[in-house]
Amino acid sequence: MDFAPSPRAAEYTEKMWEFMREHVLPAEPVWAAYLREHGEHAYPR
Dump the DSSP string for 1-45: ---PPPHHHHHHHHHHHHHIIIIIHHHHHHHHHHHHHH-TT----
Cβ atoms of residues 42 and 35 within 8 Å: yes
The pLDDT of residue 11:
98
Give the side-chain half-sphere CA count within 13 A for 45. Answer: 0
The pLDDT of residue 5:
95
The pLDDT of residue 43:
85
The pLDDT of residue 44:
81
Per-residue pLDDT of the chain (45 residues; tens, 9 = 90+): 999 999 999 999 999 999 999 999 999 999 999 999 999 999 887
